[in-house]
Amino acid sequence: MSLDRFTAPSGQKPARVAALIVAAGRGLRAGGEIPKQYQSIAGRPALARTVERFLSHPGVDDVVVVIAAADAALAADVLPEDVARVPGGDTRDASVRAGLAALPEGVRHVLIHDGARPLVAAEVIDRVLAALESSPGAAPAVSVTDALWRGAEGRVLAPTPREGLFRAQTPQGFDLAAIRAAHAAHPGGAADDVEVALAAGLEVAIVEGHEDNIKVTLPGCFARAEKILSRGTQMDVRLGNGYDVHRFGPGDHVVLCGVDVPHSRGLQGHSDADVGMHAVTDALYGALAEGDIGRHFPPSDPQWKGAASEIFLRHAVERVASRGFRIANVDCTLVCEQPKIGPHAEAMTQAMAAILGVETGRVSVKATTSERLGFTGREEGIAALATATLVTA
Ligand SMILES: Nc1ccn([C@@H]2O[C@H](COP(=O)(O)OP(=O)(O)OP(=O)(O)O)[C@@H](O)[C@H]2O)c(=O)n1
Ligand SMILES: C[C@](O)(CO)[C@H](O)COP(=O)(O)O
């Protein structure tokens, strides 16, 4: 097979990539009342963490998760609604085959990953994808650094050379057509997809894995994964800012940070013109690098005319959670001469905190005048600025 086939000529759109996450195992070695992939690691199900790593990777176009039919209800609680799920088989390779068969048209490269490896880093995924440009298969591994022995009944029998030995990890990446053919020809019982690929004569490049990319296998692995997360190596802190302006028009009240405030005029806008809530919503989208309200709710779409801004904020809050973050704090400043914000700031804080799903101590709503300068000073409209901090959930 020519290696050129796997090289994206510069300037061409990169190959469409699917992540196939196998999560149909029973997790017998790990124990617990539910399979290990549904158990929590630092407050979040392992599988939710795994899936998020691929959903948030810019090189991955599709994510398909293979689950046991018996786990459908557990999966519904853990997986984002729009993530495709496929019923698995009794063995890992049967589950992989079921997933490969279900991948959408047009996928060229597939990354096959254990649902039980929730800490895979973006750099590891990057390295596999880069190697796939010049090889039909690529997989991460870490070299064996300890001495190896063969042993039995608690005794060392013989030292074993470790040169050239690697500990295999996932995601294992392949040209989709090639790995489908390899699985179809394999008798079954392979430990992983590299074994299947090699049996079919495919070349598989080794890329650098990561010690943190552990597979949750035994009961102690949950604590190990939590320790890795708490080290902060996987901690991501995001800051976002938002800014919005709405002009005054006819009316008898304004809606600010979810509270109706009596005023001699109203604010004009396509929605309810809640300038404070819009700034906070944009700060959340900004922290996720997901654009702004206009991208998610185009003003050209009549269905958002007069819409309560709460709809926008709730959407941004959902995006935060599904990207694996939580809101650490939000700070919003309203800039206007009138109406006076002070008497309403507490109600605004409470209304915002309820939608954001955080305690009121994490939300600040404050106001300033612009000393009668500029458009806010001339009372032509109200401006709002907001900052949001997100941290890994
Ligand atoms: N029939 C199977 C068996 C395994 N897997 C998945 O393959 C990955 C690696 O397998 P392993 O760690 O061995 O998981 P289990 O089979 O669940 O573990 P155990 O052997 O302890 O029961 C896991 O994400 C697991 O859910 C799968 O999708 N279908
Ligand atoms: C695929 C794999 O994760 C590679 O390390 C591993 O082979 C699957 O898990 P198991 O514990 O060997 O069943």
Percent of the chain with pLDDT over 90: 87
Ligand nearest to the Cα of 171, by number: 2
**CA 188–ligand 1 middle distance (angstroms):** 15
**C-alpha triplet 298, 304, 310: angle, nearest 5°:** 105
Residue 78: which of 31, 117, 38 has the closest Cα?
A: 38
Q: How many domains does the chain have?
A: 2
Are 191 and 169 within 8 A, CB to CB? no
Cα gap 90→21, rounded to integer Å: 15
Residue 309: which of 257, 386, 379 has the closest Cα?
A: 257
Confidence at residue 305, expressed as pLDDT on a 0 to 100 scale: 82
Does residue 67 have its Cβ closer than 6 Å to ligand 1? no
The answer to the question of residue 273 being in a domain is: yes
Same domain, 196 and 310: no
The answer to the question of residue 290 being in a domain is: yes
Same domain, 253 and 222: no
Same domain, 134 and 195: yes
Cα gap 218→201, rounded to integer Å: 33
Ligand nearest to the Cα of 116, by number: 1
Same domain, 342 and 259: yes
Same domain, 22 and 76: yes
Look at 3-17, 103-117, 205-219, 359-373 and tell me which has the smallest mean pLDDT: 3-17
- The distance of Cα 264 from the centroid of its chain, to the nearest Å, equals 45
CATH number at residue 196: 3.90.550.10
Cα gap 268→254, rounded to integer Å: 9
The answer to the question of residue 153 being in a domain is: no
Ligand nearest to the Cα of 93, by number: 1
Output the CA torsion sign for 87, 112, 192, 141: negative
pTM over 0.80: no
Q: What pLDDT band is residue 12 in, cutting at 50, 70 and 90?
A: low
**CA 58–ligand 1 middle distance (angstroms):** 27
Same domain, 297 and 215: no
Are 17 and 109 within 8 A, CB to CB? yes
Confidence at residue 76, expressed as pLDDT on a 0 to 100 scale: 96
Atom number in ligand 2 closest to CA 193: 1
Q: Of 230, 246, 270, which one is at a domain's C-terminal end?
A: 230
Give the type of residue at 219.
P
Does residue 345 have its Cβ closer than 6 Å to ligand 1? no
Tell me if ipTM is over 0.90: yes
C-alpha dist (Å) from residue 23 to 74, 98, 186, 190, 335:
12, 12, 21, 16, 50
48-59 residue pLDDT tens: 999 999 998 989
Atom number in ligand 2 closest to CA 25: 13
CATH number at residue 360: 3.30.1330.50
Does residue 69 have its Cβ closer than 6 Å to ligand 1? no
C-alpha dist (Å) from residue 117 to 93, 108, 146:
17, 23, 22
Q: What pLDDT band is residue 134 in, cutting at 50, 70 and 90?
A: very high
| Residue with CA at minimum distance from ligand 2 atom 11 | 217
Same domain, 178 and 289: no
Give mean pLDDT, residues 53-76.
96
Query: Where in the sequence is the domain holding 204, given as residue range(s)?
Result: 3-148+158-230
Tokens of 112: 């096959």
Atom number in ligand 1 closest to CA 96: 28
Same domain, 124 and 179: yes
Residue 189: which of 68, 64, 89 has the closest Cα?
A: 89
Tokens of 239: 């800051």
> In terms of pLDDT, which residue wins out, 251 or 15?
251
Q: Of 208, 230, 252, which one is at a domain's C-terminal end?
A: 230
Residues tagged in the binding site annotation: 244-246, 270-271, 278, 292-294, 368-371, 375, 378
Q: Where are the alpha helices (DSSP H) in the chain?
A: 46-55, 72-78, 92-102, 122-132, 176-185, 193-199, 220-230, 275-287, 293-296, 310-322, 345-356, 374-377
Does residue 137 have its Cβ closer than 6 Å to ligand 1? no
Select from 92, 194, 222 the residue to mutate for testing ligand 1; criterion: most ligand atoms less than 8 Å from CB.
92
| Residue with CA at minimum distance from ligand 2 atom 12 | 191
Tokens of 222: 């949950």
Confidence at residue 21, expressed as pLDDT on a 0 to 100 scale: 98
Same domain, 248 and 205: no
The answer to the question of residue 10 being in a domain is: yes
Ligand nearest to the Cα of 217, by number: 1
Look at 40-44, 244-248, 351-355, 383-387 and tell me which has the smallest mean pLDDT: 40-44
Please tell me whether residue 102 adopts helix, strand or coil conformation.
Answer: helix
**CA 347–ligand 1 middle distance (angstroms):** 50
User: What is the β-pairing status of strands 363-368 and 325-335?
Assistant: parallel
Residues tagged in the binding site annotation for a divalent metal cation: 244, 246, 278
Are 131 and 143 within 8 A, CB to CB? no
Atom number in ligand 2 closest to CA 117: 3
Same domain, 38 and 165: yes
**C-alpha triplet 224, 226, 227: angle, nearest 5°:** 65
Ligand 2 binding site (Cβ under 6 Å of any ligand atom):
114, 168-170, 191-192, 215, 217
Atom number in ligand 2 closest to CA 172: 1
Q: Of 230, 260, 276, which one is at a domain's C-terminal end?
A: 230
Does residue 168 have its Cβ closer than 6 Å to ligand 1? no
Say yes or no to pLDDT of 11 above 70: no
Cα gap 14→6, rounded to integer Å: 10
Tokens of 367: 């106001």
Return the residue matching tokens 């068969």.
101
Confidence at residue 233, expressed as pLDDT on a 0 to 100 scale: 54
Q: How many CA atoms lie within 13 A of 184 on its CB side?
A: 8
Does residue 221 have its Cβ closer than 6 Å to ligand 1? no
Same domain, 224 and 242: no
Ligand nearest to the Cα of 166, by number: 2
Same domain, 220 and 75: yes
Residue 382: which of 246, 213, 223, 212 has the closest Cα?
A: 246
Confidence at residue 307, expressed as pLDDT on a 0 to 100 scale: 84
Select from 92, 174, 193 the residue to mutate for testing ligand 2; criterion: most ligand atoms less than 8 Å from CB.
92
C-alpha dist (Å) from residue 219 to 27, 29, 31, 90:
10, 7, 6, 22
Give the type of residue at 13.
K
Does residue 334 have its Cβ closer than 6 Å to ligand 1? no
Cα gap 129→137, rounded to integer Å: 10
170-205 residue pLDDT tens: 999 999 999 999 999 999 999 999 999 999 999 999
